[in-house]
Structure 1
């Protein structure tokens, strides 16, 4: 009986088993506790910085603060480019769950037209720096803002930002001079300072806006904000204010610029006016113009195509990129070259039978007056714009001296300090022709250069700059558009200014000026109708640039030609002669003789600058032009 009881229950064995199991349980608990403590230590100590940063990113967000772009004023303090408050739509791709679905919803909410959807989608995928917002749409309407606000919970990563947007009050008048800002594209993004342009969506594209981008833009700031799980800002934790861009005061006179635009009356061409003593560009108009405000927010496809396909080329800046034969406007410069080289004297004369012939050449290079002007000296050659005198002078000088002397006035090179996109024009030479055509220079080509035709091409800005240097008696002052940057005035003595032109006899300037004065005030002057009632002494020179070449015995008849095949009208002038305050160049495409149309516009510009309120209005000038249009004389 006792033996059976021992078999059924062994207390010592049970106690031993219990102790083993308890020990194992304790070991398991201790091991797990050690693993837990170790993991906590690893996370809290080793990975402390990483997880702290991740936690802060979920709670704290750093937002860039774009600077306010500097304003642009004219010389009298009139605002030319301002910043207006607007609302922009931005998207941060890294915060969007499904980009395609989000874009589809935005298109639906904004009710975008079919032609704008593709561009909208392209902007959303434009390469951006991580967590930088991409600008999808500018200048949202109140209705669009309301729809986005109601659906905000469905649009993570999409924000409506209040920003200042560039606006040009006189867009068409100032379009080519000021240029415009536009959205930063992918290529520009690669070259921009990431910190300075953080949060900035616009950059200067053309004109003054592009040349002075660094000064106008400013420095970006930032703010640190606390957000909730939905990304809504709860409070601001810190802030570094942006530094606004510097304001820019231009040399442009808005009233003179507006007058120049009105005088052109929609015709193709350009007017440039410069203050000779300082190089300040008072007006620089290229017509037709365009509404530069369209490019700020992004011009629609149809409007842009319309501008591109317009035969009048409104996007083309004729003032600085238009190439035109200077015609007879360069005769005063050639006369000075002849005097400086000793080829002529102020009293040298020729007998003009109506043509010029090279030695041993039967071809006749005709004067514009086919029966000739008879006995012609320097002053009369300018007054009546005699071609034969300058054929002779050009032949005696030769192309090498012509190239050298005309380059001294800035022809064939960029002349301005801060005019973005300026062309150098073309001053032909032996070397240029050999490189361009692999051909020698022919004597007949020198004669063409002598009357401002052939290969010679100038821009309206070049012609105005050369006229200002002429008015200064050879003293060079580089043309410029900026008068003040911030609080600092722009110096007159600018780098790259050409050397002054010195003549052996200072009285030679007076003789050339006398001939130019006779152009507008003399009894034989080609632009004598322009000088009627003139209240100051003005020197000028008309020019007619051929669009196509005439044959040996052909005669020009504007009435028989298509409008775009007619001659260009040119005129250059400065006034007053004794103390020049303004130099002007005018080019009107296909308007015929420069002695009428272009001359009256130049006179209107000098009147407006010198006489101020007593100057005639643009409508009065147009009436004079209509009366004078049938009386084209000279070139």
Structure 2
């Protein structure tokens, strides 16, 4: 078979090869150009950007929490401190068999199943070179027992940290408050306030009381370490260290010895006591009873223990001094007397005949009774305070009317917060026509006004408000803010707390103030004073006013029988006073829930507090 000859066009093939070579060369040049351009962008144009990203992978910022400021009482006694606590921690990468190691540790230290499970849960989330706590709050014996066996447990060590501690336990809880674990609610608030950056690596935050109110002062400023890490996140070296700034120390007006004494006097009974220095309205003591130990919250209180506090019928979690709302009873009669004198509803010589009951003029409404069923006879303003004559103040309430009464009592601080430096305070209620309309959608009646004259009806107040009003009376209408804080201090200096007074009650003649105070003097030292027996042998002169607040109403002809009344329905006992009478050094207000008459129950406690402060 003949072979077919093939003819090749060498020129065409050469031309085709050259064109392909040129195209390939152009592609190579373009690609090389793109590569060079990209390198230029990386090395020159975007150098800083990628250098920063590279450093962020290599350099880490580790926040260093500040040391919380300490809290002292007025005499320099420490009330809140930072104490070292020890935890047993394991580094997983240094331990061959973690479960076996934990089992061996049980031979020298008690480790519960719950603690082991919590450790293993944390182990899953942590890096193997991290130190993971197995046990917290080791006592001295546990630390010593591990220390002598430490060589047997590579990768296991005892670590020390600082923990908030309150040496006076339940004595100061409602004033100091406490710190506890920072939760999501706290974090959300910090983010809103723009403060979250200062809480990196911080575990605890002030929850209530002084710890909460002065959180910004006590917390300090976070520091940081700039460290170089490898690809696994292990720290290789420290590049920079900015130390944290410790929180400022706080000195309170509180006298812890006086606070402890009053706490013991109340003895767990439901009630509250407030002691104020009328010169500057510094709070010397503020006791709410019963109380609880705040140290339980610092490390995290168990659900069982917290539920027990929540369900306790005596409500220890409530600060009765600032959140407890009670009818103020007859403790407010001196304040109403000042208002009535200024409004000319009465004069210093006005007398009202007390026959044991009072009725609204030209009305068939029920009688409003006096505590003395046969009456007190003809009494003036000082005698009506001395003997706590309800009839006299029913008449004042009727003559002044609710509008004037409410306005005046608001000037004495009722119906609004005192401004004391804790967040846990209520304004209670000073009733008005508008309040009743909004609350009950009903008009105000004259029958609503009359009980206001003796601190009953819709009127509620807190012990701190009554103490504040008493201080205003002592100071002839000057209004000084109630303060727990005395001063702030750091390593270099101390700053006294600067107070701004509210506008005073103006236009009241000084003799009107003196008349009200003299009526209170007669309560303690007059021949008919309701508390004369309590203060009979006192080594000083004082002034006071008792109050008895009903928990439930009585029918017109019904008699109150304390012995046959369930405890939770018994009257509240109140007393407020100041001493010495001529140059007052302290104002004291005490309330006891379900205790009966103020003269018989609260007055003796006030007398003992006076003695504690005044008799050296």
Shorter-chain-normalised TM-score: which range?
0.7 to 0.9
Aligned partner of 1:19 in structure 2 is: none
Residue among 274, 280, 288 paired with 2:290: 288
Distance 1:560 1:507, change over 3 A: same
Instruction: Give the deviation of 1:51 after TM superposition.
Output: 7.8
* Distance in 2 separating the partners of 1:249 and 1:473: 29
Instruction: Give the deviation of 1:478 after TM superposition.
Output: 1.0
1:514-553 matches, cutoff 5 A: 514-553=518-557
* Distance in 1 separating the partners of 2:384 and 2:571: 21
Aligned partner of 2:63 in structure 1 is: 64
1:173-188 matches, cutoff 5 A: 173-188=171-186
Aligned partner of 2:579 in structure 1 is: 575
* Distance in 1 separating the partners of 2:421 and 2:526: 38
* Distance in 1 separating the partners of 2:564 and 2:422: 39
* Distance in 2 separating the partners of 1:434 and 1:119: 59
Kept in 2, the 8 Å contact 1:177–1:284? The answer is yes
Aligned partner of 2:426 in structure 1 is: 423
Instruction: Give the deviation of 1:238 after TM superposition.
Output: 2.1
Kept in 2, the 8 Å contact 1:85–1:162? The answer is yes
Instruction: Give the deviation of 1:178 after TM superposition.
Output: 0.6
Distance 1:387 1:122, change over 3 A: farther
* Distance in 2 separating the partners of 1:454 and 1:511: 26
* Distance in 1 separating the partners of 2:326 and 2:119: 38
TM (norm. structure 2) is 0.82
* Distance in 1 separating the partners of 2:496 and 2:327: 36
Aligned partner of 2:270 in structure 1 is: 268
More displaced, 82-91 or 256-265?
82-91
Instruction: Give the deviation of 1:575 after TM superposition.
Output: 1.3
* Distance in 2 separating the partners of 1:422 and 1:121: 41
1:472 partnered with 2:471: no
1:491 partnered with 2:473: no
1:190-589 matches, cutoff 5 A: 190-192=188-190, 193-226=195-228, 233=235, 235-359=237-361, 360-486=363-489, 487-494=494-501, 497=502, 499-589=503-593
Q: Secondary structure of 1:219's match?
A: coil
Distance 1:379 1:140, change over 3 A: same
1:372-409 deviation digits (Å, cap 9, x = unpaired): 11121111111111111111111111111100111100
1:79-228 matches, cutoff 5 A: 79-87=78-86, 111=111, 139=137, 162-192=160-190, 193-226=195-228
* Distance in 2 separating the partners of 1:124 and 1:439: 63
* Distance in 2 separating the partners of 1:353 and 1:607: 37
Q: Secondary structure of 2:347's match?
A: coil
Aligned partner of 2:18 in structure 1 is: none
Distance 1:81 1:349, change over 3 A: same
More displaced, 501-510 or 212-221?
501-510
* Distance in 2 separating the partners of 1:88 and 1:493: 47
1:513-554 deviation digits (Å, cap 9, x = unpaired): 111111111121111122122222211000001111111111
* Distance in 2 separating the partners of 1:287 and 1:150: 51
Aligned partner of 1:623 in structure 2 is: none
Q: Secondary structure of 1:281's match?
A: strand
More displaced, 218-227 or 467-476?
218-227
* Distance in 2 separating the partners of 1:276 and 1:592: 28
* Distance in 2 separating the partners of 1:329 and 1:123: 61
Q: Secondary structure of 1:86's match?
A: strand
CA RMSD of aligned residues (A): 4.0
Kept in 1, the 8 Å contact 2:72–2:251? The answer is yes
Q: Secondary structure of 1:394's match?
A: helix
Instruction: Give the deviation of 1:281 after TM superposition.
Output: 0.6
Instruction: Give the deviation of 1:40 after TM superposition.
Output: 12
* Distance in 2 separating the partners of 1:209 and 1:369: 47
Instruction: Give the deviation of 1:85 after TM superposition.
Output: 1.6
Point out where structure 1 has 5 or more consecutive residues left out of the alignment.
1-22, 126-131, 613-635
1:23-76 deviation digits (Å, cap 9, x = unpaired): 9xxx9xx99xx89x9899699848977886677667654321100001011111
* Distance in 2 separating the partners of 1:123 and 1:491: 50
Kept in 2, the 8 Å contact 1:115–1:301? The answer is no
* Distance in 2 separating the partners of 1:384 and 1:174: 36
Instruction: Give the deviation of 1:163 after TM superposition.
Output: 2.8
Instruction: Give the deviation of 1:470 after TM superposition.
Output: 0.6
Kept in 1, the 8 Å contact 2:119–2:132? The answer is no
Q: Secondary structure of 2:378's match?
A: strand
Distance 1:117 1:427, change over 3 A: farther
TM (norm. structure 1) is 0.80
Distance 1:234 1:161, change over 3 A: farther
Distance 1:268 1:66, change over 3 A: same
Instruction: Give the deviation of 1:149 after TM superposition.
Output: 11
* Distance in 1 separating the partners of 2:525 and 2:317: 38
1:557-611 deviation digits (Å, cap 9, x = unpaired): 1000111111010000011222221111100001100001100111122222222
1:296-324 deviation digits (Å, cap 9, x = unpaired): 11001111011011100000111110000
Instruction: Give the deviation of 1:213 after TM superposition.
Output: 0.5
1:424-477 deviation digits (Å, cap 9, x = unpaired): 010001111011111111111111111111110000110100011111111111
Instruction: Give the deviation of 1:119 after TM superposition.
Output: 13
Q: Secondary structure of 1:530's match?
A: helix
